Homo-oligomer: A and B are copies of this chain.
Amino acid sequence: MDIQRKNSAGLCSTCPIRHYGLCPALSKILSEQFETHDLRQISLPAKSYLYLQGDLNNSNYILKEGWVLLSRITQDGSRQVLRSVLPGDFLGFQPELNGPHIDTAMTLSDSVICVVPELEAICQTHPELAFRLVWVGACEMILTETYLANISKGSARKRIAFMALELYQRLLLRDMNLGYSIPFPLVQEDIADLLGLTSIHVNRTLKKLAAEGILKVEKHRLTILDYDVLYAMVGSLLEPLETCDIAKELHPASK
């Protein structure tokens, strides 16, 4: 494994954490808690590592800007991308809070990351925050479970269709004015490692989908050409994810 840290972290000014993504309540509490402090931020260029599998300098983070992939490297050197992290999402949490990282966090695009210090301590003074974290964890679980179901039984076509719709839906939660063309910093090999395919097969399948007028990827953008066809392919897989709507966190009572 020849992964190297491409770039070191930079510090930024006070952090007005955005209240969107998986953890608006969490970021709200944090920004209140730290409004008088300088909350540490990290700016990383694209294709650099926030942390590597095995690293000990453990922290928790909220992604403020950019895209991040969480992945695990297996013994034979192959990479499995576990999930994508979009602005507002939480990352870095693991059972052994101070143990070595069990995954690698790589930026896909220029990113700004907010460091969450002493998560456990904050949870003790803010009991409601801990339960929010449980909620966030459950949402991440649903996403991962849905990828599992998708990869497990789906053809390359279906896997890619699912990925496209899943990312589209998650971005839609962050920007209701989103068109059918979304930013897409993954290269074909990233898609392959996310979906359990080879980049060659991803390439062929993408070509076919584009030729059929369903979906196209070019210049770091993904464009949904035929939403209905995509939804017919994998829509039902997405249903469990709808229970992770941000509105549900902000107003959990309103079923």
Contact = CB atoms under 8 A, between A and B. Distances in A.
Interface of A: 72, 74-75, 78, 80, 82, 93-99, 102-103, 120, 123-124, 127-128, 130-131, 133-135, 137-142, 144-145, 147-149, 151-153, 195-196, 236-237, 239-240, 243-244, 248-249, 252, 255
6 closest A-B pairs (Cβ-Cβ)? Answer: A152-B196, A130-B130, A127-B127, A137-B137, A75-B236, A80-B149
B130 A141 contact: no
A102 B240 contact: yes
- Judged by DSSP, the binding face of A is helix
B243 A95 contact: yes
Contacts of A94: 138, 142, 243
Contacts of A147: 148
A24 to B, nearest CB: 14
A140 B141 contact: yes
Contact of A135 (B82, B95, B149): B95
B243 A96 contact: yes
A80 B145 CA distance: 10
Nearest to A151: B152
20 contacts: A72-B145, A72-B149, A72-B240, A74-B149, A74-B153, A80-B148, A94-B243, A95-B135, A95-B138, A95-B243, A95-B248, A96-B255, A99-B243, A102-B243, A127-B130, A134-B137, A147-B148, A148-B148, A151-B151, A152-B196
B123 A131 contact: yes
Given A123-B127, A243-B96, A142 B102 contact: yes
Nearest to A146: B72
Nearest to A102: B240
B138 A144 contact: no
Given A80-B152, A134-B137, A243-B102, A248 B196 contact: no
